[in-house]
Structure 1
Amino acid sequence: MTSRMLYLFGSAAPPVHDVAQVIGEAQARGWDVRLGLTPTAARWLDAQISELERLTGGPVRSEYKLPGQPDAWPPADAILVAPATLNTINEWALGLTSKFVVGVVAEGIGKGIPMVTMPCVNAAYAQHPQFARSLDELRAVGVRVLYGEGGFVPNAPGEKHPYPWAVALDAVGSL
Structure 2
Amino acid sequence: MSEPSGKPFLYVVVCAAGVAAGVGRLIAAARERGWEVGVIATPQSLGFFDAAAVEELTGRPIRSAWRAPGDPRPFPAPDAVAVAPATFNTVNKWAAGISDTLALGTLCEAYGLGVPIAVLPCVNEALAAHPAYRASVERLTAMGVRFAGTHTAEPRQEGERDEFPWERVLDLLAPEP
- Whether TM exceeds 0.5 here: the answer is yes
**Are 2:8 and 1:4 aligned?**
yes
Question: Unaligned regions of 5+ residues in structure 2, if any?
Answer: none
| Alignment partner, residue 30 of structure 2 | 26
- Output the TM-score relative to the length of structure 2: 0.87
Determine which structure has the larger helix proportion and give its number.
Answer: 1
Task: Determine whether 1:164 maps to 2:162.
Answer: no
Instruction: State which of 112, 115, 123 in structure 1 corresponds to 2:114.
Output: 112
What SS does the aligned partner of 2:20 have? helix
For 2:148 and 2:169, locate their aligned partners in 1 and report how far apart those are by CA, in whole Å: 7
Task: Give the share of equivalent positions with the same residue, in percent.
Answer: 36
- Aligned residue pair count: 168
Which one of 62, 84, 87 corresponds to residue 85 of structure 1? 87
What amino acid sits opposite 1:170 in the alignment? D
Per-residue deviation, 1:68: 2.1
Distance in 1, matches of 2:31 and 2:156, equals 30
Measured after TM superposition, the shift of residue 23 of structure 1 is: 0.8
Deviation per CA, 1:51-85: give whole Å up to 9, x if none.
Answer: 21121121101111112222110110000001000
Aligned counterparts of 2:165 and 2:174: Cα–Cα separation in 1:
15
- TM-score in terms of structure 1 length: 0.88
CA contact (8 A) 1:2 1:30 kept: no
Q: Give the 3-state SS of the residue equivalent to 2:24 in structure 1.
A: helix
Alignment partner of 1:87: what SS? helix
Q: Provide the secondary structure at the position in 1 that maps to 2:172.
A: helix
1:116 maps to a residue whose letter is: A
* Deviation of 1:174 (Å): 3.8
Equivalent residues in 2 for 1:69-84, closer than 5 Å: 69-84=71-86
Equivalents in 2 of 1:51, 1:159: separation in Å? Answer: 22
Question: Where does residue 97 of structure 1 map in the other structure?
Answer: 99
